Amino acid sequence: MVQSSPNLHGRAQLVMDLRGKGIANRRVLEALEKVPREDFVDAPFAVEAYTDRAIPIACGQTISQPYIVAYMSDALDVGPRMRVLEIGTGSGYQAAVLAHLAGWVYSVERHRPLLDAARKRLEKLKLHNVVTRHGDGFLGWKEQAPFDRILLTAAVEEIPKALIEQLKPGGLLIAPVARPDPQNLAAESIYQYLTKIIRSEQGFIEESLIKVLFVPMVAGLPQETRHGKERLP
């Protein structure tokens, strides 16, 4: 089916916007140009789909800002045969972008309603190299490990050990890591840094990239209500 032109126009604009903000990786820009972001947000937000902003989705979560999706996809340095694990499927948008860059994408989400909606979108786009699972991302996906690349799209205080163990030697993991703000310890304000970890022969090499703001990664599975809201204990 031929895509409607406003939608293609929006995507081309977004790619130009991202290029202007410093994203130069051609494969990543092409991947973003291929994914209709308006399909990944609720109808009232479709008009904002190609502005470079995070947008609320169900279950109190958000679809990340396109700049951050592009930045993370670039930093992850994904090759066409690689197996990538994503924690936090959310809308499925980041998984769809990764599907155009990787061999296989494995994505784990703890909210069942989000996962069901994401699966439908990925199926509609015929992105058959994305496999999803309802589960707790803190445990990774042992049966499919090891992975060339691992991407966390929810913030952690430290990188979960199970995930490090599921990374191939030579592999690379990217995660938003929350840290106390060194300039503002008294106010207990928290910074998140996108953190890159390379598993080398000699051990792990850690590098802080940019400051970010993600929803926290939450352990265990929620008790979902009919409306997809998390029930309070």
Catalytic residues: 64
Residue among 63 and 182 whose Cβ is closer to ligand SAH: 63
Query: Which helix (H) or strand (E) is 194 found in, with range?
Result: strand 190-200
Site string for ligand SAH, 86-125 (x = CB under 6 A): -xx-xx-xx-------------xxxx--x-----------
What does residue 82 show for φ and ψ, rounded to 5 degrees?
A: -75, 155
Distance CA 157, CA 219 (A): 12
Distance CA 55, CA 62 (A): 5
Residue among 184 and 211 whose Cβ is closer to ligand SAH: 211
Work out the angle between the directed axes of helices 5-20 and 66-75 (0-180°, nearest 10): 60
Quote the radius of gyration of the chain (alpha carbons, Å): 17
Residue entry with tokens 């090759």: 79
- Supply the minimum distance, in Å, between the C-beta of residue 91 and ligand SAH: 3
Among 62, 65, 129, 144, binds ligand SAH (CB under 6 A): 62
Rule CB under 6 A: say whether 138 interacts with ligand SAH: yes
Structure tokens at 17: 């916007």
Rule CB under 6 A: say whether 29 interacts with ligand SAH: no
Among 25, 61, 73, 132, binds ligand SAH (CB under 6 A): 61
Rule CB under 6 A: say whether 153 interacts with ligand SAH: yes
- Supply the minimum distance, in Å, between the C-beta of residue 34 and ligand SAH: 15
Site string for ligand SAH, 207-226 (x = CB under 6 A): --------x-xxx-------
* Cβ partners under 8 Å of residue 11, min gap 6: 32, 33, 34, 35, 36, 37, 50
Whether the Cβ atoms of residue 206 and residue 159 lie closer than 8 Å to each other: no
Kindly list the residues in this chain that would bind ligand SAH in the complex (CB under 6 A): 61-64, 87-88, 90-91, 93-94, 108-111, 114, 136-138, 153-154, 215, 217-219
